[in-house]
Chain A
Amino acid sequence: MASLLDTVEHAQVAERVSAGRSWLQGLDPRAKVASTLAVILAATLSRRLTPLVVLLAMGLATALASSIPLRRLAFRVWLPTLLFTGAIVLPALFLTPGEVAYRLPELGWAVTVPGSRTAALLVARVLTAATFATLLLLSTPWNHFLKALRILRVPTVFVVILSMTYRYLLVMLETASAMFESRRSRLVARLSGREWRSLTTATAGVLLEKSLVMSNEVHQAMLARGFRGEAYTIDEFRMRPADWVWTLAIPVLAFAAVWLRR
């Protein structure tokens, strides 16, 4: 229940931040999508830590200039990235052969210098990519982001499914939240873990059924307005000089940083 509400709250915050009038929010979505993809590519290709630190610093400066709360970035992006990527690279610290940098007390396992470097590089790459991707999503209204993807020739199926998923995920979250509240209001006894799991599974089943009914109705509503298997959108975006500067400058800076420290 708490995580459902948290997801809805996160979506609301993202909408509020993207509607702001700061630096990144004012740029053309296509410029932001193209530059973000370039930075992610540059970060992936980087073989050294310094360029990644430079890129990460650029991301932080952009976040500050765009009034994007660093606290949200820290808890929503950096912490999960460190935890998950850290778990993945943990064995590399010990298994990569090379000079021993540190030996764990009691266990005696050796942390090697090349292992530490590999682990730091991977974590920094993921951190940089996740930071820029989050900046893009937090500074761009969802509908503009989808439209930009389509204009940049991202496959149709991907964009439509992404759009529908986000739209109806929120509807289903509200339904799920109402179902849990309704159930809680009628519970008088304390349920065991097993009973809770059983109830949750039943709720998931009902939600699945509701989503199927809704998908049929949505399809009917689309047909009723002339949908014949192809959907169209209007390109209303206009590139201004600042958008062109951003589109060209960010990828050039990112690749220059990587190339100079190759």
Chain B
Amino acid sequence: MASAFPCRSLGERMAMSSFDVLPESQTLSVPPGSEPSPQMPVFEVRDVFYRYEGVTALEGLSLHIGRGQRVALLGANGSGKSTLLRLLDGLCFPEKGSIAFFGEPLNPNRLAQDEFSFAFRRRVGIVFQNPDVQLFNPSVFDEVAFGPLQLRWPKERILQRVSETLEQLGISHLKARPPHRLSAGEKKRVALASVLVLDPEILLLDEPTASLDPQSASQMIDFLVGWRGGSKTVVMATHDLDSLEDIADHCFVLANGRLVGEGSPQQILGDQALLARTHLLHVHRHLHDSGEIHSHPHRHRHCHEP
């Protein structure tokens, strides 16, 4: 996968860095920015093009995400969902078009400024699909403390927040464990904790339930359903149509890097043609007792008793 950053090896990048013990008194206060109006979109994506080594990932994509929305990015593998999340997190930048964060352009120059970068990283968190890339510290405690340390919070505040976050996700007992010794579900929860510790306003999630066993997936869904708090915004890439109505209130459907549909979960789940065209609908085949093979599309509508 290509990186939008200068193509240096990890060793070179590490060699440019330092690993310092944080003095207790050292803090960096993020200057309070002007509070955006409730109507201002969190993200405004305008006519964005992005390519990986010549292969088009996003093509003329435009959309906006409002404050407090819970957005699902739907689409088959390779439709551009993960790329869009990385663009929204300022980890790579569009070749053409623009992305605005609360009206501010999100580009390398803005993110090179400490003030903007600290404020942005404090407010926006991303959980990657593969937790192994996110868990690079030697212990779970260090992993969860990494973000607050980089934002130079005071030591006492870091210890308190890390402890609260581990408790919140039910992983306090894993505190001293090395991340590579954890199960897939535990890794995912630690990855989530490493982001939630900063109490972000906007949470970007790439396939949060991918490769989890049913119980871990269910716990993840329960957490996302419960993580609200009014102004919290969630943007998640997912294939999981079963829990769509629980975790999202708006959906964008992508195919080949283009936006091909949007609407409420009910509208999207009701549009069988759109789901079939974007490879989100699959056909079930059953063998009945009579020996008859019966096939029908797998529809994802749930009905609850009033």
Interface residues of A (CB under 8 A from B): 15, 141-143, 146-147, 150-151, 156-157, 159-161, 163-164, 166-168, 170-171, 212-235
Contact = CB atoms under 8 A, between A and B. Distances in A.
Contacts of B16: 229
A171 B121 contact: no
A6 to B, nearest CB: 17
A170 B114 CA distance: 34
Contacts of B18: 156-157, 229-231
Nearest to A233: B21
B283 interface: no
Interface of B: 1, 3, 5, 9-11, 13-22, 86, 89, 91-92, 114, 117-118, 121-122, 125-126, 128, 130, 132-134, 136-139, 142, 145-147, 149-152, 155, 158-159, 176, 178-181, 194-195, 198
A19 B29 CA distance: 38
B117 A220 contact: no
A156 B17 contact: yes
Contact of A220 (B3, B11, B19, B147): B3
B61 to A, nearest CB: 20
B19 A222 contact: no
Interface centre among A15, A225, A229, A233 (most CB of B within 10 A): A225
B11 A221 contact: no
Contact of B195 (A146, A168, A222, A225): A225
19 contacts: A157-B14, A164-B14, A170-B180, A216-B10, A217-B1, A217-B133, A218-B10, A220-B128, A221-B128, A221-B133, A225-B121, A225-B147, A228-B150, A229-B16, A230-B18, A230-B150, A231-B18, A231-B19, A234-B149
Q: Which 8 A-B pairs have the closest CB atoms?
A: A143-B138, A226-B150, A215-B10, A217-B133, A225-B147, A232-B22, A232-B149, A226-B121
Contacts of B118: 226
A219 B152 contact: no
Given A219-B3, A230-B17, 18 more contacts: A143-B138, A156-B20, A157-B17, A157-B18, A163-B138, A167-B137, A216-B1, A217-B1, A222-B146, A224-B91, A226-B121, A226-B151, A231-B20, A232-B20, A233-B22, A233-B142, A234-B21, A235-B21
